[in-house]
Amino acid sequence: MTLCLLGALRAHADNHDGGAVRVEVESPEVLPHLPAAVEVAAYRIALEAVNNAQRHADARRCRVDLTLDEVAGSLCVEITDDGKGLGEDRGTGVGLSSMRERAAELGGSFEIDAVALGGTRVRACLPCGPEDGAGENLLESQAEEV
């Protein structure tokens, strides 16, 4: 059985129940059909950010939000945690580099910053509209799902 992006993220979050970090996944009820490369990149970015929250930030909670930017034709994945935040000497590790590269390979954006009350926010927006040749228009594929 194969899982879609949302199913795979929820399965990963369920595996964290009772662990050091509680992971929540928020998303629209139904995601449109997404190009495989976008699903893989979003999944890997989310997992790396959750792992960083657990390993490096001593976070207790981590939230993965998936949103569709229909105007831009992109999927945005945002991961926030309540950990100790970004240290000034954090450097650029392999995990941060790989997340940034995954987004860049698809022509997307990647940013990481501190959350005002503590913690870290990772955000990647991955194009999946017709202009990148990766798939059909998000609005059209959503209409077909309904």
Q: Residue 122: beta bridge partners?
A: 79, 112
What's residue 133's pLDDT?
42
How are beta strands 22-26 and 61-69 bridged, if at all? parallel
Two tokens, residue 30:
């139904």
Domain residue ranges of the chain, discontinuous segments joined by +: 5-145
| CATH code assigned to 5-145 | 3.30.565.10
Two tokens, residue 95:
């995990």
42-88 pLDDT, tens digit each: 999 999 999 888 888 889 999 999 999 888 899 999 999 999 877 66
Question: Other C-beta atoms within 10 Å of 49: how many?
Answer: 27
Residue 112: pLDDT over 80? yes
46-57 pLDDT, tens digit each: 999 998 888 888
pTM confidence score: 0.82
